[in-house]
Structure formats: C-alpha cells, structure tokens
Amino acid sequence: MCTGKCSLCIGRTLYPLALISIICNIVLFFPDWDVQYALERHITREVTLMGGLVGGGVMVLIPAVHIYMTGERGWCANRCGMFLSIILAAVGVAGALYSFIVAVFGLLHGPLCKDILDDWSTPFNTKDVNYLEYPDFWELFCTEPKNVVKFNVVLFSILLVVNSLQIILCGIQMINGLFGCLCGTCRDTDNTRHNNVTLTTTVHVA
C-alpha cells in the first residue's frame, strides 16, 4: 500500500473514533440520563477534565482531516503535506494519550455519587480493594445516581479502547508520513501512469 492510500485509510478510521470519544464524554455528564447532576455539579472530576471531548475528540479530529487530505489527489498529496501530517499525528497521539490517562483515573477513582451516609463523595477512591472486582457492592456504596458505577465503567472503558486505537493509528501515520516525505505519496506516480495510458490510447486511435 502506498503512503497516500495508507493516509486515506487512517484518516477515515480516525473520524468515527473521534466521534465516539466525543459522544462518550458528553454522555458522561448525564448519569442516569438526568441533567440535574450536571447542573448541580455532582459529576466525576475526570468527566469535567473532558479528555474524551478535547483530547480524543478535537485533538484527534483535526489531524484526521489533514491525514485524510494527504491521501486525496489534488489536496495535500505531496511531501510537504506528509511532513505536516507527522506533526499533526503527534498532536493526535498527545490528545488520545491525555484522554486515555483521564479515563484510567476515572476508572481507578470511581464515580462521584451519594454514598450510604447520604453524602456526595467518591467512596471507591478510599478503598484499598479494587471495586471493579466486586460489582455486587456498587449499588450499596453508590445509592444515587442509579447505576452510576456501571455507567462510568462502561463509558470510560470504551474511551480506553478508542484512545488506544487512536494512539496506534496516529503513531502509524507518523511513520507513514516519514516515508511519504522521503518517497512521495504515490499519487504523482498514479497521475503519471494515467497520463501515459491516456497518451497511448490517443496515439493508437490516431
């Protein structure tokens, strides 16, 4: 696969991943599908850091657009475009890594919820035992919002998977961009072949 086509493939794959990351972060603001917790600021701290929205979302989406364009004939399918894609892919790695780290801490600390003493706290953050291994106790320590622990675990886990894929893809693009700078994007070669075929056909017709 030439470097231009590889960029097209990576760019197309990053689009939905960035969108999933943004959606997950937005949904995390509404535990139990209720806006009151966001309005009252009873939201997990890691959610307010907006790793999925800013890091895995915007900081990956912008490079994805350029990476896709580096593979598109007539846009940035040149060595300069490939060089810029390396820098933007590095930005994508940084954004995805930021979102990944926030998601890890979101899982480790657990959600902000109303505990058994009717106070808002992060009850699992003070436990020596990993709460993820004991789902039967989630509702006992978090009484409100309903199913907030499962809600956070599922969405933060999705972010971890999505961000991991983003880091891998942006890393591949950095290598692909380097080869593109050195060897070109193959698009010029494609155009040359197309022109040669057209010229040959014209000569035969004549």
What is the pLDDT, as a whole number, of residue 194?
42
User: Domain tally for the chain?
Assistant: 1
What is the pLDDT, as a whole number, of residue 61?
94
167-196 core/surface letters (b: 16 or more CB in 10 A; e: else): bebbeebbebbeebbeebbbbeeeeeeeee
What is the pLDDT, as a whole number, of residue 141?
86
Judge whether 151 and 37 are in contact, CB under 8 Å: no
**What is the chain's alpha carbon radius of gyration, rounded to the nearest angstrom?**
23
For residue 9, give its domain range: 3-205
Tell me how far apart the alpha carbons of residues 154 and 166 are, in angstroms, rounded to a whole number: 18
146-157 core/surface letters (b: 16 or more CB in 10 A; e: else): eebbebbbebbe
What is the pLDDT, as a whole number, of residue 66?
87
pLDDT in tens, the chain (206 residues): 577 788 889 999 999 999 999 999 999 999 988 899 999 889 999 999 999 999 999 999 999 998 888 877 655 667 777 888 889 999 999 999 999 999 999 999 989 998 877 788 888 887 677 888 888 888 888 889 888 999 999 999 999 999 999 999 999 999 888 877 777 666 554 444 444 434 344 334 44
Which amino acid type is present at position 124?
F
What is the pLDDT, as a whole number, of residue 187?
55
What is the pLDDT, as a whole number, of residue 203?
39
What is the pLDDT, as a whole number, of residue 193?
43
